[in-house]
Amino acid sequence: MTTETTPIEIKTEKKEKPEIKDQIVVTQHSITIGGEELKYTVTTGTLVLKEEVDREKDYDGEQPKAQFFFVAYTKDGVENPAERPLSFSFNGGPGSSSVWLHMGLLGPRRVVLTLEGGLPKPPFQLTDNEFSLLDQTDLVFIDPVGTGYSRPADGEKAKQFHGFKKDIETVGDFIRLYTTRYNRWLSPKFLIGESYGTTRASALSGYLQSRHGMYMNGIVLVSTVLDFGTIDFTPGNELPYVLFLPTYTATAWYHDALNTHEPLQSLLAEVEDFAVNEYAPALLKGNQISATESKSVLRKLARYTGLSSEYLERSNLRVPDFRFFKELLRKRGRTVGRLDSRFLGIDRDTLGEGTYNDPSSTNTTGPYTAGFYDYIRRELKFETDLPYEVLTASVWPWSYTEFENQHVFVAETLRQAMSSNPHLKVFIANGYYDLATPYFATQYVFNHLGLDPTLRGNISMAYYEAGHMMYIHQPALEQLKKDLSKFIADAR
């Protein structure tokens, strides 16, 4: 006996794409900068970043990928956007929100620290930022996915955003989206990045040009790292020992650990000459260095670092940064900061090779966190119960797949962008006491950029007697405002 069956036709419908909406709050404000009142609008919230997908797959059209949190400041009364510069700003980490540049340097409200940038007694305060760059340019502060209030869209895995390539693509795509949504394509445009944000900004200079046809007028690099080989103390890499030396000297000079009262700038010029013409050749010789040359280098290293000859000899003339933090003031029972070596820390004891924390980091985290939480709700009226990820480790491990078996290097991308767009200007801000991205390493990278001679005048550098976040030091903040105002005016 046979049984006949009728096939059952199963109809499948494409899933509806998740409904994720932009969340935007708009408020009006005013501030006095340079003696003149400036009225401005703040647009705060999240824009949904979408990605085009194959119509044969789950979704038609665009699929939400992430919710990007941003705070945008625009000057009121501007009829023609082409007359008003627009700057996109972010910090680094990876894993940092944009709060530092936002509430420390560029935005119209800033966190109150001591005059030198030290930690005030809590509770903390905010004040109008008379040194804000808002009088020169509109400002958009961007938090990459996983930082601040930026999050992956529902159903999207966070890990996909935790890497060099995806970070550049998503931040770049957000910049395109904002520029399009708010009709700013004809405005002079700038990127302002700090620390790993300078890595991101340099990579974005190429991505925005090649992917979206968006050409920048200028890029501001605050505490720069474009070649990770210049700061990576790994066996066999002699470069960081040479490039960190002038900042070791500046640090020791600041803490009166050197037997000299020579002005800092002239002392640094002397050390830079020694680093290139004597110290680097000595390290490159390795075990072939003569006893006479070794003793000569050892004597000068002790003079320039404030470390004992015995310690330097046991270190084989090579002192990595983490050892310097601990050793310089060991006898005083203090450590020096990494981000800003002017600041001192207290460890449980004076033993060991490394420090328990970075006193220059703990100095700023509390005031900036409290200041932002109060500001975003009280003044900007943006409400959410999510934690604002000021600086998170959740993005780690960060993927550098594109640089497998080599150091991260984005200087070539910047060179290509400047060569394709010969109008692109670059301003670099350096802190003398920055032991995270030392100024001499930055000089080295730009001296080896391979930029055509006709374009070298597009690069300018400035130096400040503070650290990685030089703007926490009010005299440096005041000078930086003048330097950035001139740069924006010249590059627009």
Domain edges within the chain? 23-229+364-491, 235-357
pLDDT in tens, 124-157: 999 999 999 999 999 999 999 999 999 999 999 9
DSSP state of 77: T
CATH class of the domain defined by 23-229+364-491: alpha beta
CB 62 within 8 A of CB 55: no
Question: Rounded mean pLDDT of 19-32?
Answer: 94
pTM of the model: 0.94
pLDDT score, position 20 = 85
Per-residue confidence band for 3, with pLDDT thresholds at 50, 70 and 90: very low
pLDDT in tens, 475-492: 999 999 999 999 999 999
Percentage of the residues of the chain whose pLDDT score is greater than 90? 92
What is the 3-class SS of 166-213, one letter each residue?
HHHHHHHHHHHHHHHHCCCCCCCEEEEEEEHHHHHHHHHHHHHHHHHC
Whether pLDDT at 161 is above 90: yes
Contacts of 263 (CB under 8 A, 6+ apart): none
pLDDT in tens, 315-357: 999 999 999 999 999 999 999 999 999 999 999 999 999 999 9
Mean pLDDT score across all residues of the chain: 95
pLDDT in tens, 350-395: 999 999 999 999 999 999 999 999 999 999 999 999 999 999 999 9
Cis preceding linkage at 94, omega within 30: yes
Question: Rounded mean pLDDT of 440-466?
Answer: 98
Whether pLDDT at 410 is above 70: yes
Percentage of the residues of the chain whose pLDDT score is greater than 70? 95
Range of lowest pLDDT (45-59, 115-129, 212-226): 45-59
Q: Which residues pair with 39 in a beta bridge?
A: 30
Per-residue confidence band for 6, with pLDDT thresholds at 50, 70 and 90: low
Whether pLDDT at 1 is above 50: no
CA quadruple 445, 448, 450, 456: dihedral sign: positive
Whether pLDDT at 58 is above 60: no
pLDDT score, position 251 = 98
